[in-house]
Amino acid sequence: MELSKVFIGRQPIINRNKKIFGYELLFRNNTSPDADVTNNIKATANVIVNALNNIGLKKLIGEKKGFINVDAEILESGIFDLLPKENIVLEILETVELTSDIVELCTNIRRQGYRLALDDFIYNSPLSPIVGAANFIKIDFPMHDRRTLAQVVEHLREYPAKLLAEKVETREDFEYCHSLGFDLFQGYFFARPSVISAKSLSPAQLVLIELSRSLSREDEFSTIEGLFKKNPELNYKLLKFMNSAAFYTAEKITSVRQSIALLGYRNLQKWVALLLFAGEGGDPKSSPLLERAALRGRIMELLTKKITGDPVLADCAFMAGALSLIGVLLQTSISDALSEFNLSQEINDALIHREGLLGTLVLVTEMLEQENFGFIEDTLRKFSLTIDDLFLIERDAIIEYESTDDHKDS
Domain spans of the chain, in order of start: 3-190, 193-410
For the cut 60, the answer to whether the pLDDT of residue 250 exceeds it is: yes
d(CA 213, CA 319): 13
Closest to 135 (Cα-Cα) out of 159, 170, 104, 99: 159
Residue-wise pLDDT for 172-212, tens only, equals 999 999 999 999 999 988 877 654 445 566 677 788 888 88
Report the predicted TM-score, pTM, of the whole model to 2 decimal places.
0.81
Closest to 364 (Cα-Cα) out of 280, 295, 269, 309: 295
Least confident of 95-109, 153-167, 309-323: 95-109
Task: Tell me what pLDDT residue 235 has.
Answer: 76
Task: Tell me what pLDDT residue 333 has.
Answer: 87
Task: Tell me what pLDDT residue 126 has.
Answer: 59
Closest to 300 (Cα-Cα) out of 324, 264, 282: 324
Instruction: Look at strands 6-15 and 184-186 and give their pairing.
Output: antiparallel
What burial class does residue 202 get, using C-beta atoms within 10 Å of its C-beta: 0-12 exposed, 13-18 middle, 19+ buried? exposed
For the cut 70, the answer to whether the pLDDT of residue 31 exceeds it is: no
Mean pLDDT of the chain: 83
Helix (H) or strand (E) holding 90: strand 88-92
Q: Longest C-alpha distance within the chain, in Å?
A: 73
Question: Across 190-199, 202-211, 383-392, 395-404, which has the greatest mean pLDDT?
Answer: 383-392
CATH of 193-410, one of 1.10.10.10, 1.10.3720.10, 3.40.630.30, 1.10.3210.10: 1.10.3210.10
Contacts for 176-183 with beta carbons within 8 Å, 24 or more apart? 176/146, 177/141, 177/149, 178/16, 180/149, 180/150, 180/153, 181/153, 181/157, 182/16, 182/139, 182/153, 183/15, 183/16
Q: Answer whether 3-190 and 193-410 agree in fold.
A: no
Closest to 68 (Cα-Cα) out of 15, 107, 13: 13
Residue-wise pLDDT for 77-116, tens only, equals 777 777 788 888 999 988 888 888 888 899 999 999 999 9
292 — pLDDT class (breaks 50, 70, 90) = very high
In angstroms, how far is the first alpha carbon of the chain from the final one?
A: 39
Question: What does CATH list as the number for 3-190?
Answer: 3.20.20.450
Q: Pick the residue with more confidence: 296 or 286?
A: 296
